[in-house]
Structure 1
Amino acid sequence: MVLKFEKSFIIPMFVIISLVITCASQVVSGRSMHEPSIVAKHEQWMAQHGRTYKDELEKAMRLKIFKQNLEYIEKANKEGNRTYKLGTNEFSDLTNEEFRASYTGYNRPVPSLSRQSSRPSTFKYQNVTDVPTSIDWRKKGAVTHIKNQGNCGSCWAFSAVAAVEGITQITGGKLIELSEQQLVDCSTDNNGCSGGLMDKAFEYIIENKGLATEADYPYQQEQGTCDEQKEKAAAATIGKYEDLPKGDEHALLQAVTKQPVSVCVEASGQAFRFYERGVLNAECGNNCDHGVAVVGFGTAEEEDGANYWLIKNSWGETWGESGYIRILRDEGLCGIATEASYPVAM
């Protein structure tokens, strides 16, 4: 049996049946991409994070990205030899490119534009030998609450401020929340929400003779005009800063023994982005794109005795371990010792 159309175009019945079967399989496949459980999870995620879309077309696109990210998370969590778990978070409907453009912001230094054009071979803490098995500067009162840079590439400012807040408390006995917004607005050697460097932030603080408090110069998640009156209301300052030898995790260990340290990491990979808990031991690259602060180190007995760095991030308290991440130590993961530096008190 055949079907006849105009111009004697003839389609054998077995071809018709084959097409019907193919279309049916594609419908089933399409449904699997948007199966009720995925749709429900996306809707639940949207409600949790207050996410809305301009129309159904954008919603369908974001659902597809959400599904791809969720599949990566579930696959990674099933693999062996993992000392960490991943989970969905506020970044789960973004592509890697979108995430990198909006939520990182560390600009790798150009030697000719930096006062300290090469990493030093000596540093203040190089003779420190009394390194404890663990230290947590939070417990010593030298770390302020987790902050959120939002959709602004100002991680460099949060990293630098965390280090300055730390050394201010250690040397002065008082923990003061300092202003990232002042750096975003006034540190002209940096690029505000388009990225920057912690060292250039330290240089600005030295030249300006200090930073205002967060209360006096609050964060806005965007770059504005420098408020010169607030800029001069310094609540804390530093005398200088020092860089650590490039890639030297032992030097970093010595420094963190004495104070929180600004570092850069490669944070745009999926393992870092969707980190939820544990000690991250994934290959995350060493091309720095995000500034954070190391505020401690230790050994995780519950994670096969893994040695870790304790890192304060600036993506809010809902990310990671209440805003923190632990990264496997002594393996060079995420480029953590690539560009480490710390402020020195007056």
Structure 2
Amino acid sequence: HLLVLLAVILLEFLPVHPQLLDNGWDQFKSKFKKTYDPILESVRKIAWEENLLKINIHNAEAAVGLHNYTLRDNHLTDMTLDDYLKEMVRLLRSRHRKTDGDDMMLGATQTQIPEELDWRKKGFITPPMNQEDCGSCYAFTIGMAVEAQAFKRDGQYTPLSVQQIVDCSTRNGNLGCRGGSLRNTLRYIKDQGLMKHEDYPYKAEKKMCKYTRNEAIMTISDWKVLPPGDEEALQNACALIGPIPISINASPHTFQFYHDGVYDDIKCSSNTLNHAMLLVGYTKNAWILKNWWSEHWGQNGYMYLAKGQNRCGVSNYAAYVVV
């Protein structure tokens, strides 16, 4: 009976008529303001059709209880998986240096923390962010972590310049829109500080560095790396310190099109880390993560990720900043 029900639902979900696909493609281009040259458009349309099929099959399976989360058509649906990984998922790794000092935090033992916590409910409400086709997740993640600590200290939210990190941290080992590491970014901000977003707005491409030291309004005094693979330490840090930068595996196509529910794709291995997000809270069974792929991805830019299994390597490399 389950297979029959699934087949019936699939017929509802799958657009099979060419005219329906053409209409859907036109709506997709209009909604997300997409323009292509003629040759690229045919390639992108094929990718969109193939991805739409994957999305619809997954959602049909979710409708009969086979998945705990749904997918949706978003601004990344015209990307092949290879294009998506090259353009959107560009986190690099950076080793500890002696000049960093002792940046490893011991395992947390604090137990007096709430079962559920959401920093958004504490007033740290930020608009959806969009890195666009620039591999700058590292800059958004650390920049917003600094904003969060400043908010916790001062009680007000001041957007800081992500573009400054993209343009100016190459001497620390970052590669602009071709990727960067959380540690390199922490080193840069500790040395140089950050200007306001309004004074140095985001352009989604690497530009000439326009940093002015006397306009930097925020810096960090230190940072600590959490014990790898320790989700309890991650939860304690989020509760006691604030929003936490984390590294994650964003490789699966289900991650690319995530929409709603608790993401728990077993194919999302903990062995790969290629994207950075900000942990802003947790429930009893999920981490609440902020992404940089606009309001069209996830739940208005957020993901609920299953807790307890180090899914997608969420606790493999996490750190917090001290302002």
**Residue 275 of structure 2 corresponds to residue 290 of structure 1:** yes
**Per-residue deviation, 1:135:** 0.9
Q: Distance in 2 between matches of 1:61 and 1:114?
A: 48
Aligned with residue 196 of structure 1, among 174, 180, 183: 180
Point out the more displaced range, 58-67 or 307-316: 58-67
Match of 1:51 in 2: 34
Q: Distance in 2 between matches of 1:238 and 1:282?
A: 36
Q: Distance in 2 between matches of 1:316 and 1:63?
A: 21
Identity between Structure 1 and Structure 2 (%): 33
Q: Distance in 1 between matches of 2:259 and 2:111?
A: 33
CA contact (8 A) 2:105 2:225 kept: no
CA contact (8 A) 2:55 2:257 kept: yes
CA contact (8 A) 1:119 1:245 kept: no
**Residue 77 of structure 2 corresponds to residue 99 of structure 1:** no
Aligned with residue 81 of structure 1, among 41, 44, 66: 66
Post-superposition CA distance 1:130-172 (Å, at most 9, x none): 1211111112123422211111001000000111111111122
Aligned with residue 177 of structure 1, among 144, 147, 159: 159
1:310 is paired with a residue whose SS is strand
Match of 1:160 in 2: 142
Q: Distance in 1 between matches of 2:214 and 2:110?
A: 36
Match of 2:261 in 1: 278
CA contact (8 A) 2:136 2:166 kept: yes
1:92 is paired with a residue whose SS is coil
1:263 is paired with a residue whose SS is strand
Match of 1:330 in 2: 308
1:218-229 equivalences under 5 Å are 218-229=201-212
1:257 is paired with a residue whose SS is helix
**Residue 124 of structure 2 corresponds to residue 139 of structure 1:** no
Superposed CA RMSD in Å reads: 2.0
Larger Rg: 1
Match of 1:261 in 2: 244
Q: Distance in 2 between matches of 1:274 and 1:175?
A: 30
Output the amino acid matched with 2:293. Answer: W
**What is the number of equivalent residue pairs in this alignment?**
301
Q: Distance in 1 between matches of 2:16 and 2:133?
A: 29
2:112 is paired with a residue whose SS is coil
Post-superposition CA distance 1:63-93 (Å, at most 9, x none): 2211110111111112233111100000111
CA contact (8 A) 2:164 2:211 kept: no
> Could you say if the C-alpha distance between residues 117 and 336 of structure 1 is closer, same or farther in structure 2, counting changes exceeding 3 Å?
farther
**Per-residue deviation, 1:344:** 1.2
> Could you say if the C-alpha distance between residues 162 and 112 of structure 1 is closer, same or farther in structure 2, counting changes exceeding 3 Å?
closer
**Per-residue deviation, 1:221:** 0.6
2:120 is paired with a residue whose SS is coil
**Per-residue deviation, 1:113:** 6.1
Q: Distance in 2 between matches of 1:112 and 1:308?
A: 30
**Residue 19 of structure 2 corresponds to residue 36 of structure 1:** yes
**Per-residue deviation, 1:42:** 1.5
Aligned with residue 236 of structure 1, among 218, 236, 252: 218
CA contact (8 A) 2:91 2:135 kept: yes
**Per-residue deviation, 1:114:** 7.8
Output the amino acid matched with 2:66. Answer: N
**Per-residue deviation, 1:272:** 0.7
**Residue 197 of structure 2 corresponds to residue 214 of structure 1:** yes
CA contact (8 A) 1:143 1:162 kept: no
Please, which runs of 5 or more residues in structure 1 have no aligned partner? 1-31, 300-306
Output the TM-score relative to the length of structure 2: 0.88
Q: Distance in 1 between matches of 2:98 and 2:196?
A: 27
**Per-residue deviation, 1:117:** 9.7
Q: Distance in 2 between matches of 1:118 and 1:81?
A: 45
Q: Distance in 2 between matches of 1:308 and 1:315?
A: 20
